């Protein structure tokens, strides 16, 4: 019924009860979730988990925070992992100028390189961008790219429409349920539903009423319910449409869910 397109279920926050978390997700109607790589080590863990669980898929890549770690050894590891049939996307990659854990010029160079790698493997991109919209779009416009999704979207409607115009989907997380997120709620209400995905970004950003606690894939249903409320539609419609969208965004998911 639901596809959680962005999780960190392979992370240490779930080491004590991962199987229980995945069982709860299934009980909540989550047919599939994507475990997201943020560096070479976490990408390996994501692929390993996906290989053990039929409902878990993986992405590989280096987050902009970790851009300085993308050396020749990491490139080789990611290139090998990207060939796994359990890998549905390349990311999360992009630009983050809010924290600047890696210098801007390093982030930009690694972003360009990873766009090229994703294109070579035929994998859609999972893009993280924060306080860097102009440079993100400029880099995407400067080279061929395979499309994909802007994850955990928190931008303005103009940013969402610019992403969609470039062939991307836009994914909403638990932030859309927060009372003060009225601008984001307006974006979720108004943009083309055929380009909307849902995610948890767990263990982060738990939706209301779990805000402040550990997030998990089962809670993606609450994101769907909020979008359904905003658009005046049954939650089943949002579940079906966003799941269909996820399969279009990530073609390797086409055979993943009944």
The pLDDT-based confidence of 57 (bands split at 50, 70, 90) is very high
pLDDT exceeds cutoff 50 at 206: yes
- Express each pLDDT in 225-250 by its tens digit: 999 999 999 999 999 999 999 999 99
pLDDT exceeds cutoff 70 at 35: yes
Whole-Å CA distances, 69 to 40, 42, 73, 114, 117 = 9, 12, 9, 13, 16
Q: What's the chain's average pLDDT?
A: 96
Q: What is the pLDDT of residue 244?
A: 97
pLDDT exceeds cutoff 80 at 123: yes
Determine the average pLDDT of the residues in 29-52: 97
pLDDT exceeds cutoff 70 at 258: no
Determine the average pLDDT of the residues in 65-69: 95
Q: What is the pLDDT of residue 18?
A: 98
The pLDDT-based confidence of 105 (bands split at 50, 70, 90) is very high
Query: pTM for the whole thing?
Result: 0.96
| φ, ψ at 34 (rounded to 5°) | -110, 125
Q: What is the pLDDT of residue 255?
A: 55
The packing angle between helices 157-165 and 182-190, to 10°, is 40
Give 152's Cβ-side CA count (13 Å radius).
21
pLDDT exceeds cutoff 70 at 257: no
Whole-Å CA distances, 232 to 115, 170, 205, 227 = 37, 19, 24, 8
Domains of the chain: 2-253 (3.20.20.140)
- Express each pLDDT in 142-189 by its tens digit: 999 999 999 999 999 999 999 999 999 999 999 999 999 999 999 999
Q: What is the pLDDT of residue 32?
A: 96
d(CA 161, CA 186) in angstroms, rounded, equals 13
DSSP 175: G
């Amino acid at each position: 019924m639901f596809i959680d397109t962005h999780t960190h279920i392979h992370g240490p926050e779930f080491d004590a009860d991962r199987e229980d978390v995945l069982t709860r997700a299934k009980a909540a109607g989550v047919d599939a979730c994507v475990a997201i790589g943020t560096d070479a080590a976490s990408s390996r863990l994501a692929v390993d988990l996906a290989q053990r669980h039929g409902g878990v898929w993986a992405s590989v890549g280096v987050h902009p925070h970790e851009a300085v770690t993308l050396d020749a050894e990491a490139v080789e590891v990611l290139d090998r992992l990207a060939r796994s049939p359990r890998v549905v996307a390349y990311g999360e990659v992009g630009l983050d100028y809010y924290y600047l854990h890696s210098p801007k010029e390093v982030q930009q160079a690694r972003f360009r390189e990873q766009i090229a790698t994703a294109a070579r493997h035929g994998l859609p991109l999972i893009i993280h961008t924060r306080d860097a919209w102009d440079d993100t779009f400029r880099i995407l416009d400067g080279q061929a790219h395979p499309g994909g999704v802007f994850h955990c979207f928190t931008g303005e409607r103009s940013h969402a429409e610019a992403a969609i115009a470039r062939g991307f989907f836009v994914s909403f997380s638990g932030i859309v349920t927060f009372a003060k997120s009225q601008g984001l709620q307006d974006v979720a209400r108004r943009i083309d539903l055929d380009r909307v995905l849902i995610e948890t970004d767990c263990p982060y950003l738990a939706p209301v009423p779990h805000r402040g606690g550990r997030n998990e894939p089962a809670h993606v249903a609450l994101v769907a319910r909020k979008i359904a409320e905003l658009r005046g539609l049954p939650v089943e419609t949002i579940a079906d449409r966003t799941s269909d969208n996820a399969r279009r965004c990530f073609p390797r998911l086409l055979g993943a869910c009944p």
